[in-house]
Each structure stands twice: as structure tokens, then as C-alpha cells.
Structure 1
Amino acid sequence: MHGTLQVKITTKNKGGFIVMKRSVYLLIILLLSVGLVIVGCGQQESQPKSQPESQTSEPKKVDFPKKEITLIIPYNAGGGTDLVARMLAEGMEDELGVSIVPVNKGGAGSATGLQDTITAKPDGYTIVMAATPLVTLRTATGVDIGPDKFESIIGVNINDFALAVNSNSKWKTIEELVEYAKANPGKLKVGVTAPGGAWHTAGIAFGKAIGAEIELVPFGGGTADMMPALLGDHVPVGMMDVAEAVPHVKSGKIQVLAIGGENRYDIFPDVPTFSEKGIEIFRACAMRGLMAPKGTPQEVVNILYEAAKKAAAKQKFVEYMDSNACNIEIYNPSEWAKFLDEQYNEFIELSKSLK
């Protein structure tokens, strides 16, 4: 029968105090003891569980790297990106204590090498030296490659573009050129790289910034193909990397009228920036930085970043970059990711002006 246990006590002593039978007394003690155990267990269950030791102790350091690292260079050997990548890799080897093996995978405007990196195992042992097409390929060509397919490691080099003319040109200042372009819609021809390339982007940005219709003349082989056309007066204006302009300016064959970016370049101290002349223009630039496959652990990314940052500060790397008019700009992983996203979105907006 379910109910409350009843204990009848009938005996009193002389003082009027209740005297319990020994058996009843023991029963009450037993019930109280059980109650205490039940209450105690209830309190233990309501308290937060202690965290596992692995969560409260210091995180274990990643054992990386343990073997050689493959550095994909999405261009043929001998180009600017190839040389910068190899020089940086050499310095990183000293920091990481393992070999970094450069592998050239040129083709399709760097899409081949970038795609191979996307499909590589995200463990830090395959990285890529990406350049400007990383932010332009998807919009320009439809290939599904963009910053969102990678983990950003470090930005190391940003070179702004130079707008140059043949030394025999009738335009001696950027103001004279802009005046002509506005007065003659569609007549100014500007030599640029292939669609999706940095200097094709610069051409789009220039036309938009000055509010004039210009004709872009793309060269599939890049500046190497465009330069002879500029020197031979086949195109009157050319967009190029500041570094690419240096030897031709020194030889007296071309003149740089303006440079992108915020500051003048030491190698061209007398050449103004567009902003100095009141031309607010998108910073189309040649950019180079290391990327890893999406999903690479952040701890591994951080190790690669620290090694690359130290490598970029080494005297040999600095001297090489200076001698080739390559501007060193260091971006940490989050800064580099933000910069690439900004460039990617701005290129989308620029491309709309061509439609």
C-alpha cells in the first residue's frame, strides 16, 4: 500500500519526554541518512560539470612543419611573381627549418595554379603565391576562383600602376592627357593587359575616374607585349607596373605622367600621384601574397605568416625588392583577407561600367 509510513509512539517517561522503541529509532535514523544521500546527489547534479583537462590546460602547440612545403607559383619561371616568390621562400626556409619547393604552374591567367591550390589538402604543406587575378578572375572570366576559396597568409608586395606615354608624345602632363580624353570621347587608345589582369583593371579605373570614354587595347602577353606597341607609337598610352616602367624611363623611351597609390615613388620623385592632381582613382595594383587552401588550420597559417614576415625583413629580400622597384607592404592574415575582399568587390563595381 502506497502512502506515508506511520510510526505510532505511545510511551512516555517520567519527565514527559517521548521514549522511542529502539527499532523505531533506528528506522528514523536510516530514513534521515537516505534523505541526506538523495539531497546530496541532487546538489551534485545541479552544479556545473568540471571541464575536461584538455580544455582547461594550455593548448598543445602544432607540430608544423615536419616535411617540405610545396609553393605553387601560378606563372611561368622568370617573371616578377616567380622571382619574388622564390626569394621569399628562401628566407622562409631558414625560419621553418624545412625545404620550400617552388613549382611553376602557369596558364589561364594563373587560374591553373590557383585551382591546384584550392583542391590541395588543407594542411599547410601546399601554398601559393597569388597575384592580382585572384580578385579579378571570377568577374572577368567566369572561372570560380576568388579570395573566398583560400585562407590568407600574408600580403608582401603591392606595386601601383604607372600611366606612361612615348617620350615623343604631345602630352607632357596628366592634365593635358585628361583634357584630350574628355574632348575626344572614344579616341584615346590605352594599352593594357588581358581582361582580368591588373593593368586592364587600371585602364577601366582611369576611364571611370576622369569620366571619359576611352578605348582599351588589351595585350594577351601582358606588358611584355604591350611595351613594343607603346615604344612604336602603335598605342599612345600604356598602363604598367611602376617597376616595368623603370628601365624604359631610364633609357629615355617613355615618360610616366602619373602613378596610382597614395604616395610618390622614390624612384620617380617628380611624378605625381593621381590623387595629387585631384583624380580620385581606384587603387588598381599588382599584388602578391601567400594563400593556403580553404580550411587550413589557423595555427598553421600563423606559423607560415610569422616565417614569411621575418623572411620579408631580411636584407637580401629587401635589397632585391628595392633594386626592382617592388614596394614591400606587409599585411597579416586578417588584414590581407580584408584587402583582397575590398579589391574583389571594387573590381565587380568597375566591371559594371563596361556593360
Structure 2
Amino acid sequence: MTRTTRLSLLAAVAAPALFAAPLAMAACDWKPERAVTYVVPWGAGGGTDANSRMLASMLEQAWGVPFNVVNRTGGNGVTGHSAIANAEPDGYTIGAVTVEINTMHHVGLTDMTFESVTPLALVDIVPSSVLVKKDSRFESLDALLAFAKANPGELTASGTSQGGIWHLALAGMLNAEGLAPDAIRWIPSQGAAPAMQELIAGGVDIATPALSEGKAMIESGELRALAYMHDQPMAALPDVPLTAKALPSGWTLAAYITASGPAGMSDEIACSYEAAIADIVATPEWAAFKASRGSEVVSMSRADLAAYMARSDEALGKVIEAVGLAK
């Protein structure tokens, strides 16, 4: 991967916490009159699920109607994202559109793109990590990469679907460091939570989820973090080595989570969600939740989020091509 490609990936995908300018005033007085379905394309227990359930609960409190979280897993993220994109744009089905909306079409899983949804709010930006179980023989990222170079294909890793963001985090890092992208074999999973359980059980050697997703298991001693794919330490785990400093390539990569609805959602409904979520994000309750996960509060206007997703799509497409997964 060229330096230009890597830097563009950093700019598009590994952005730090972002705060929006004040919302432009519109009527924005739509409110749901019945239950809303909040679709999560990934399994229960992961970071996307946790963020989505907290946001749905706070929207329920704000608007006084149920927000029913439904985990629609399968198809490497296609099932849940399709459930959001194909719903009626009436405000009664929204969900967690994740960075995989920028990867699935590049790897030939679907024709759906970021243009198939209406972005409403940025919920999280989460850099990847390199995790091993507590009794792993590897005590550093250098040792892990040296073994993978000398024994290509012997080690296995997991974290999400084939071609998903945590797979790209690993394959892109290997590629950037001059190893074959499959020097560590990828074992697909339905998300970070099952992948980390598989790691603890010894079914795989490595997991590469968001560091925030592994925080509790790291603190409990079940897992050990060899690296954080970022250029700034996580406040809750400040001693985890940064790939930006530890690796010659300076490789970093982060995912994002949004609240989004189907394409074609009216501006009135979309801006009502934008305003409601902006109010939630500004609360001490939301800040405390984010701090408990080792994450920062992030926010972005709908317009800026749409542009951010477009840049991410272009940058990740280049990574997917570089590691040989493009179809």
C-alpha cells in the first residue's frame, strides 16, 4: 500500500472525536406515535449492540414510545443493513449502519452502499486492536508479526466477517508491514463478542476488534492487548502500544457506528432524529456511558456525516483492492 493510500485512509476512517457546529434550525418537530424498530446488524454483546441499545433507550425516554432493538445478523452484515435500507422511510425503522456499508459492496456481497441509507447521527468512532488470550506465547506485536512472517498461515484471527472492518484492520496491517495479507488466516464471525469468546476458548490465536470492545476482558485479565491501531492512547488503557508509533508503516484503522434510516427519509423526520440525538449526546448520562467503555463522545452533523461516509467508502475501497479482496 502506498503512503498516499495509507494517509487517505487515516483521514477518512481514523478521524478523532468530531463535534458538529450548531444544528441549522428547521421545524424538526416530528415525533413517532408508535413503537420504532432499531435494527442492529451485528450480534448482542459487541460495541455496536451496546451503543445502539443505550441510544435506543435514551430515545425511548425522550420521545415516550418504545424503541425495540432487534439484532438482525447474517450475511456478513448484509442482512441487518438491508433491513434498514429496505424499510419504509417513515421514521419507524432506523438502525446501526456501521462502517461495513463501505466494505460490503467492494467485496461483492451486495449492491447496497452508503447511498442506500439516510445518515442521522454519528454514534461512535472506534480504532481496532490486536488481542491475544492471557496465556498466549506472544507478548508483543513485533513477536507476533515475526512469527507470522516465518510461519505464514499457521496463526488464525477473527473479529467480524470476511472483508469486514476488523478483517481489513488485520489484512491491511500485514500488507503495510510487507507480509502477505493472509499470512494470518481469517476466521469469519458474527461480530466482536463471539470472536473474543472464541479467542478465550482457544479457537483462534488473535482477535482484532475495537479496543473499547475488549476493554472489560483486558481489565479482567482474560485477554492481553498487544496493540491499539491508533495514534493516541485510549484514556482507559493508556499503556497499550500504538501501531502509529510501534510499526514502521504507522498503520492505523478505525470503524464507525451511525444511527441511520432508509434512503428517502424526509428532511423533517431526519432532522428531528438529528436534533433528538444531539440532545442525548450532550447529556452527562451519555458521557458516562462512553467513559465506561473507554470511548470518547463524538458528534457530527448529518451533512458532515454523509460526506465522511463517502470519503470512508473511497479510502476503504483502496485498502480492499490492495489486499486482494475486491470483486
- 1:333, distance to aligned residue in structure 2 (A): 1.0
Contact 1:264 1:273 in 2 (8 A): yes
2:235 maps to amino acid = D
Partner amino acid for 1:276? K
Following superposition, the deviation at residue 228 of structure 1 comes to: 4.5
Aligned to 1:207: 174
Equivalent in 123, 128, 132 of residue 165 of structure 1: 132
Q: Kindly tell me: are residues 187 and 314 of structure 1, through their superposed partners in 2, closer, same or farther at Cα, counting changes over 3 Å?
A: same
Counterpart position of 2:162:
195
From 82, 86, 101, the equivalent of 2:49 is 82
Distance 2:50 2:202 in 1: 30
Task: State the secondary structure of the residue aligned to 1:92.
Answer: helix
SS in 2 for 1:152: strand
Q: Percent identity?
A: 22
Contact 1:159/1:327, CA 8 A, preserved across alignment: no
- How far the C-alpha of 1:205 sits from its partner, in A, is 1.6
TM-score by length of 2: 0.78
Paired position in structure 2 for 1:134:
101
Counterpart-to-counterpart distance in 1, 2:304 and 2:206: 34
Shift of 1:143: 1.4
Unaligned stretches of 5+ residues in structure 2: 1-24
Aligned residue number for residue 283 of structure 1: 253
Query: Structure 1 CA distance, aligned partners of 2:86 and 2:156?
Result: 40
Q: What amino acid is aligned across from residue 238 of structure 1 in structure 2? A: A
**SS at 1:219's partner residue?**
coil
Counterparts of residues 146-295 of structure 1 (less than 5 Å): 146-213=113-180, 214-277=183-246, 278-285=248-255, 287-295=256-264
Which has the higher mean CA deviation after the structures are superposed, 180-189 or 135-144?
180-189
- Matched residues, number: 295
Q: 1:346 aligns with which of 309, 312, 315?
A: 315
The structure, 1 or 2, with the larger RCO (C-alpha pairs under 8 Å, 6+ apart) is 2
Q: CA RMSD in A?
A: 2.8
User: Residues 337 and 170 (structure 1 numbering): CA distance in 2 closer, same or farther, change over 3 Å?
Assistant: same
Equivalent in the alignment of 1:111: 78
Residue 348 of structure 1 and its aligned partner are, at CA, apart by 2.0
CA distance in 2, matches of 1:269, 1:127: 35
Q: Is the 8 A contact 1:153 1:333 kept in 2?
A: yes
- Cα pair 1:156 1:288 within 8 Å, conserved: yes
Amino acid at match of 2:141: I
SS at match of 1:151: strand
- In structure 2, the partner of 1:61 is 27
Provide Cα deviations, 1:174-197, integer angstroms capped at 9, x if missing partner: 233334444444444333422143
Once residues 80 and 198 of structure 2 are traced to their aligned partners in structure 1, the CA distance between those partners, rounded to angstroms, is: 29
CA shift, 1:122, in A, is 2.5
Residue from 288, 293, 302 that aligns with 1:324: 293
Structure 1 alignment gaps of length 5 or more: 1-58
Q: Sort the Cα spacing of 1:354 and 1:98 in 2 relative to 1 into closer, same or farther, 3 A.
A: same
Query: Are the aligned partners of 1:122 and 1:296 in contact in 2 as well (CA < 8 Å)?
Result: yes
Q: In structure 2, how many angstroms separate the alpha carbons of the residues matched to 1:66 and 1:254? A: 42
